[in-house]
Amino acid sequence: MTSSVKPFVIVDAGNTSVKVAHIKNSHIQSVHRFAHVSDALSTISDADVVCASVLNENFKQLFINSGGSFHQITHQSKLPFKSVYGSMETIGVDRLCNMAAAFKLFESQNCLVVDIGTCIKFDFLSENNLYLGGSIAPGIELRYKALHEHTSQLPMLDFKSATAIIGGDTNKSMHSGVINGIQHEIQGMILRYEKDFGDLKILITGGDASYFDFPQKSNIFANKNLTLEGIVEIYEFNAV
């Protein structure tokens, strides 16, 4: 999309970090990460701020007070694709942003987005540019937390690296179960989508995506800024 929308700033507050992206001529110029939303304020001056996250109202007012305007993307925003999702009022807006980016990249093609973060989300956009939905499963940290909190002796781990299939002690066994379990879960889900829908484009994104290996295939694309690109697409779609 070639847009006349003036430059703006995206603030994408996730569960573990806050991304601030500066946008000009529909393109991401820079991306910075911060531990807290308040830390991000120092990078924003007289800017139009676009957000797709649920932020505290005090922070929202701080952004407005910084001299710019504040725009919130929600499930009620106009979308560049069609949707038959049955509970739009509860959908994570990041999923819609991922679909908007997929639509821009692969319009009129079957496209599967795999977002690997706090949760592992699969979302499918059909060749008819129709968002059908997908699935949500716990990510790495949530699985470690479940093992620790729902057993009497298992420790709380935070390992995220690739590991052997056989764990030689309790920690390594947990590490293997979580990481290799997710790896094969994702691969199995992709195979199921390919069986059901045939040819499709696959986009891999999310903060934990780098901890997993995917086959070098011409239809698999890694894009760490996919959600940000989708925010750009939805914001500009609503602005013009």
Q: Give the residue from 11, 83, 28, 41 showing the smallest Cα distance to 233.
A: 28
pLDDT: which is higher, 63 or 233: 233
Give residue 63's pLDDT: 66
pLDDT tens-digit series, residues 95-115 = 999 999 999 999 999 999 999
Q: At 118, phi and psi to the nearest 5? A: -55, -45
Residue 46, Ramachandran bin (φ over 0: left; ψ between -120 and 50: alpha; else beta): left
Cβ-in-10-Å burial (0-12, 13-18, 19+) of 59 comes to buried
What is the rounded end-to-end Cα distance, in angstroms, of the chain?
11
Please, what is the angle between helix 170-197 and helix 140-149, to 10°? 130
Averaged pLDDT of the chain: 90
Q: Is there a catalytic annotation at residue 115?
A: no
Q: Is it the case that residue 203 has pLDDT exceeding 90?
A: yes
Q: Report the C-alpha gap between 30 and 20 in whole angstroms.
A: 8
Average pLDDT over residues 29-54: 79
CA distance 233 to 226: 11
pLDDT: which is higher, 240 or 207 = 207
Identify the pLDDT of residue 205.
97
pLDDT band at 143 (very low <50, low <70, confident <90, very high): very high
CB 192 within 8 A of CB 103: no
53 close to 14: Cβ distance less than 8 angstroms: yes
**Between residues 221 and 12, the one the model is more confident about:** 221
Which residues are CB-contacts of 95 (< 8 A; sequence separation ≥ 6)? 115, 121, 123, 134
Query: Hey, how many other C-beta atoms are within 10 angstroms of the C-beta on 44?
Result: 18
Residue for token pair 């573990």: 16
| Residue whose token pair is 């821009």 | 104
- Pick the catalytic residue from 94, 115, 123, 208: 94
Give the pLDDT confidence of 26-41 residue by residue, as tens digits.
Answer: 999 999 988 877 777 7
The residue with greater pLDDT, 188 or 58, is 188
Question: Using CA atoms, how far apart are residues 169 and 113, in angstroms rounded to an integer?
Answer: 35
- Does the pLDDT value for residue 66 go beyond 70? no
- Which amino acid is residue 17, in one-letter code? S
In order of start, what are the domains of the chain with their CATH numbers? 8-72 (3.30.420.40), 82-139+173-229 (3.30.420.40)
Q: What is the pLDDT of residue 43?
A: 72
Tokens of 138: 């716990």
Mean pLDDT lowest for which of 7-21, 45-59, 69-83?
45-59
pLDDT band at 2 (very low <50, low <70, confident <90, very high): very low
